Each structure stands twice: as C-alpha cells, then as structure tokens.
A and B are shown apart, each in its own frame.
Chain A
Amino acid sequence: MADGDRGEYAIETRGLNLWYGDFQALYDVDLEVKRGIITSMIGPSGCGKTTLLRTCNRIIERLGYVRTTGSVSILGHDIFADGVELVQVRKRIGMVFQRPNPLPISIRDNVLFGFRLHEARLRKVSAAEEDRILESSLRQVLLWDTVRDRLDRPATGLSLEEQQKLCIARLLPVKPEVLLMDEPCSALDPAGTEAVEELIWKLRGDYTILIVTHNMAQARRASDECVFMLLGRIIEHGRTDEVFLNPESSETADYIEGRYG
C-alpha cells in the first residue's frame, strides 16, 4: 500500500455483518488480529470461520450474492473503501486452501507465478534474481532440499504435504503481510500435518497468520491466540492457553470438551 502500514492490528473488523442472499452468516463481528502471531479460529461447521477468513481478502465477493456491512481493515486500511485495488489487497494477503492447489506447471513456475505477475512486469528481472527468489522461498517452507533437483518437473507430481508447502512458498515472493489459511492440514496425513504445522510455526513472526481449523489439538499447540465462533458470532477471543484452560463462556467450554462439534 502506497502510504505504508499503520495501526496496531494486522486485521481489524468492526461491526461486520455478512449475508449470503437472505441468510446471515456473520453477526456484528469485531475481531482484532495482532501482528506477527498465529491466531486460530475454531468452531463447529457452518459457524462462519471460513466466511470470515474469506472476507479478509474479499475473495468471498466472487460468489456474487454476498452483501456485507461494517468494515474490515488490513494494516490500518479499510479494504472496502472506494479506490481499493483488489489486486493490491490480495498481493499483501496470501491465502492457503484446504486442498493444496498447485497450478499444473513446473515447481519453478508455481513459485514465481505471483512474482512474475506483479514484479516482472514492472522491470527486467534477471534469471539469477529469479533463482535467488526461488531458492529463498523454497528454503523458507523447508522444501528446497526435497525439490532442488526437480524444479522443472510438474508441481502436481509432489506429495500432498509438499504441494501444500509449495502453495505457501508461492505466496512469499510478493512479500505478503498476512497469510490466511483455511484448514491447511485437513487433506494431509498425520506426518504431513505435523510437517506443515511445524512450518507454520516457523513462519510466525515474519507473517501474521490467521488459521481456520477443525482440529482442536492443532489450534491448541500451534497458535498464540484463539478465536471461538458459533453461529456467525465471535464468542471468545483470547490467548490460546487461556481459552482452552479457562474459557470465559460456557459455550466455548462445551465445544472444547467435545459436547458438540
């Protein structure tokens, strides 16, 4: 953003309401996500976690029948304001999906896809610079040693775990501030889950991470703060250990103990 980052929070929503047609999915959501930490969102299916996540980069609008009121600010800037360029928003806010979705091109082209889209059209980029970016991005996601010999092979040939890491790696070259993750481990086996969690923990500090999860154990061990949502409302938001050990609301307690889900 031209006039720089500001504000204490990476993501801040105020009185956010969202409707899918006649169905209201979010009610007066006030959420503050601190910079540089991992915030997890938990709650039963259909509680609005994914909706809220997808509102943060305005990807939700593509459905066409979505209406919102209230505001969402990213790094202190209202992304619903007039004159906001969605391409710029999405450049600063990377998104990782439930199912890894590498493009059917080589590993190299996948990692450099966003970079070429945004940077390489403004100036001449040397092959050496591309290689440097490629290596550092893949190193950051702990994938470099695995794929360094097959960078020009199709990305779709990787294992799901590697694909998911690649999907994170390809966000990094455009220097995002926020990473939104929508159940990034739910398609992975336990070993893959552990590896990707480890990676997410490693990215903590460099990026603000908002992660939706169904896996309570994952929220508990791999996040700093935890948001519990129910029926489109935020019920509780606090430090993860406190939410899990001393939930303020009885609904949170019931959910955490597995009385519903």
Chain B
Amino acid sequence: MFTATTLNRRSQRAQGVARAVFFLMTVTLVIPVLIIAGTLVVKGGPAISWEFLFSAPRDGMTAGGIFPALVGTVWLVAVALLASVPVGVAAALYLSEYAPDNLLTRTINLAIINLAGVPSIVHALFGVGAFVLFFNIGASILAASLTLAVMTLPVVIVATRESLQAVPQAFREACWNMGATRWQTIRKVVLPNSISGILTGVILEVSRTAGETAPIMFTGAAAFVAFLPNSVLDQTMAMSYHLYYIATQQTGVPEEIPFGVALVLISIVLLMNAISIGFRVYLRGLKKW
C-alpha cells in the first residue's frame, strides 16, 4: 500500500534534478576561488621569502621585496580605522538607540545605503577633490586613509547597528524601568552585549580597506617611495597599488613578483577574515543568554 505511484516517481525525479542543479551551481562558486588561490600559490609561492617581505624593491621594481608597501598598507588601514570607527559606531548608536522613526532617520538610512553603493573610483575622485585639494592636505596617507574611511563607513555603521539590534529589547526595557537613562543603558547593557559584533565588523573593514586600490591611487599612494613613511602627511607605497603598478605600468618585472605580491595581499585579507570568524565564534560561546 505504500509503494510509489507514477506521480510520486515523477516528483522524485524533478526533485533529484533540482538538487543536482543547485549542487553544481554551488560548486561553480568554489571553482574560481580554488583556481585563484592555486595559481597564486604556484606562481607566486617561489617569490615568497623573508627577504621578499622585509626588503625594498630594487632595479626599477624588477627585483627585491615589498616591505615599504606592507608598511604603507598598515599605515593606511590604521589611520582609516581611527577615522571611521568612532564616527561609524557613534552614528550606529544614534540610529539604533536614539533616532525616532521619522523622515530624517529614513533619509539618513537611505544615504548610508547609497554611500555603500558608490563605486570606489568615485570615492577616489571625491577624496582628491575634498581631502587633497579642498582641505589642502595634499596627496598623503591622511588623505588616502580618510578616503578609505568614507568608503568603509557604511560597513561599520551597518555591522554595528546589526549587533546593537541583536541585543534583546527586554534588556533595554528592564534598564529604563529602573530609571536608567538611554546612555546608562547603552553603557551598562547594550555595548557590553554587542561589542563582539562590532569588533567583527571592524576586522572585516580592515580586510576590505587593505585590498582597495582605486581610492588611494590619486590620494596618497605612490608607485615608489624610497623611505618608509614618517608621518601621515607622507606619501606611501601600498600593497594593492604596488600590485597594480608592477603588473600594468612597469615592464621587465619577473612574473613571480606580482603573483607573490598578490599572494601576500590575499593572505592578509583571508587571515583577517579568519580572525574575525574565530573571534565571533569565541565570543558567541561567552554569551550568557
């Protein structure tokens, strides 16, 4: 009495086909990642050495290492974080904890979404116009980092706001009903319970910032700087721009160097993402509700 009818078998076949198609699509997604990583390791792997990481490029960048670019990227990311994290977290706190649901708030939200959608080259031109020329900072780490900060601000705001809103409303009500002000509520209950999500967002921002090229190419990155940056007003080399430069603007660069640079860059980004995931898992374990 429980044997399959023709109709059952037809449904099962359709279901099998659907499953196979979806699986294939999923695999398709992984293939490029494997090819990219594989190519980079095979072609760029031989270039990697301590000397490659810790020495400056030589002979018109056809030999030597990437140390100034590494240091430059660290500077750019650090200054960009200093600028964007306080602004982004404060904005997210306002939007999540204070802002009434009105036209102004909705407009701000729309602006954030649109800011996230602006192409990075447009951010680059904005950076040149605003920071380099209008504020007269000149092409420098500061101008480049501020441009990066503006670009990644939506990421920080959205990640922070999401982790703030993951804090149960009941906690806030409990505080308010004991006579806590909104700020006391934020400080004592909301922030301690959302800090993990906020930090995860910040780490993701680091990986995004480290890899960007367009926003820094007119605002502070240089193809070659003989010295390491001393202050935020210096120009600097950067990993992403260095890669772009030696791959497209310079002749006679041995093949393994650009691949080596790409390998280091992607390793930094993947490492950051891995730290962020690990951190999230660890802190989720600590959560008490």
* Chain A residues at the B interface, C-beta cutoff of 8 Å: 57, 59, 62, 64, 86-88, 90-91, 94-95, 97, 99, 101-105, 113-114, 117-118, 154, 156-157, 167, 170-171, 174
Bound Cα distance from A91 to B178, whole angstroms: 6
Beta-carbon contact of A101 and B170 below 8 Å: yes
Bound Cα distance from A174 to B177, whole angstroms: 12
Residue on B with the closest CB to A167? B174
Bound Cα distance from A88 to B181, whole angstroms: 11
A-side contacts of B181, CB under 8 Å: 87
Bound Cα distance from A98 to B184, whole angstroms: 24
Beta-carbon contact of B175 and A59 below 8 Å: no
Q: A101-B171, A104-B171, A156-B288 are in contact. Are A171 and B178 (CB under 8 A)?
A: yes
B-side contacts of A118, CB under 8 Å: 179
A–B pairs, 12, beta carbons within 8 Å: A57-B177, A62-B176, A86-B179, A87-B181, A90-B177, A90-B179, A91-B178, A103-B174, A113-B175, A113-B180, A118-B179, A156-B289
Set B170, B171, B177, B289: member contacting A95, Cβ < 8 A: B177
Bound Cα distance from A157 to B173, whole angstroms: 20
Bound Cα distance from A145 to B225, whole angstroms: 71
Beta-carbon contact of A170 and B178 below 8 Å: yes
Bound Cα distance from A113 to B173, whole angstroms: 13
A-side contacts of B288, CB under 8 Å: 104-105, 154, 156-157
Beta-carbon contact of A117 and B289 below 8 Å: no
Bound Cα distance from A175 to B233, whole angstroms: 58
A-side contacts of B59, CB under 8 Å: none
Beta-carbon contact of A87 and B170 below 8 Å: no
Q: A64-B100, A103-B189, A104-B289 are in contact. Are A87 and B171 (CB under 8 A)?
A: no
Residue on B with the closest CB to A117? B180
Beta-carbon contact of A113 and B177 below 8 Å: no
Bound Cα distance from A117 to B176, whole angstroms: 11
B-side contacts of A59, CB under 8 Å: 173, 176-177
Beta-carbon contact of B178 and A113 below 8 Å: yes
Given contacts A113-B175, A114-B178, A114-B179, 5 further A-B contacts (CB under 8 A): A57-B177, A97-B174, A113-B180, A117-B180, A174-B178
Shortest Cβ gap from B285 to chain A (Å): 14
Chain B: interface residue total (CB-CB under 8 A): 21
A-side contacts of B193, CB under 8 Å: 104
B-side contacts of A156, CB under 8 Å: 288-289
Beta-carbon contact of A103 and B175 below 8 Å: yes
Beta-carbon contact of B101 and A64 below 8 Å: yes
B-side contacts of A57, CB under 8 Å: 177
Shortest Cβ gap from B239 to chain A (Å): 41
A-side contacts of B189, CB under 8 Å: 103-104
Closest 5 A-B residue pairs measured CB to CB? Answer: A114-B178, A101-B170, A90-B179, A95-B177, A104-B288
Q: A64-B100, A64-B101, A156-B289 are in contact. Are A101 and B174 (CB under 8 A)?
A: yes
Bitwise interface map of B from 161 to 200 toward A, beta carbon under 8 Å scored 1, else 0: 0000000101101111111110010001100010000000
Shortest Cβ gap from A16 to chain B (Å): 20
Beta-carbon contact of B173 and A97 below 8 Å: yes
Bound Cα distance from A103 to B180, whole angstroms: 13
Bound Cα distance from A62 to B179, whole angstroms: 13
Shortest Cβ gap from B264 to chain A (Å): 41
Shortest Cβ gap from A175 to chain B (Å): 12
Bound Cα distance from A167 to B177, whole angstroms: 11
Residue on B with the closest CB to A170? B178
Bitwise interface map of B from 113 to 131 toward A, beta carbon under 8 Å scored 1, else 0: 0000000000000000000
Residue on B with the closest CB to A99? B170
Shortest Cβ gap from A152 to chain B (Å): 12
Residue on A with the closest CB to B167? A104
Shortest Cβ gap from A55 to chain B (Å): 14
Bound Cα distance from A154 to B286, whole angstroms: 11
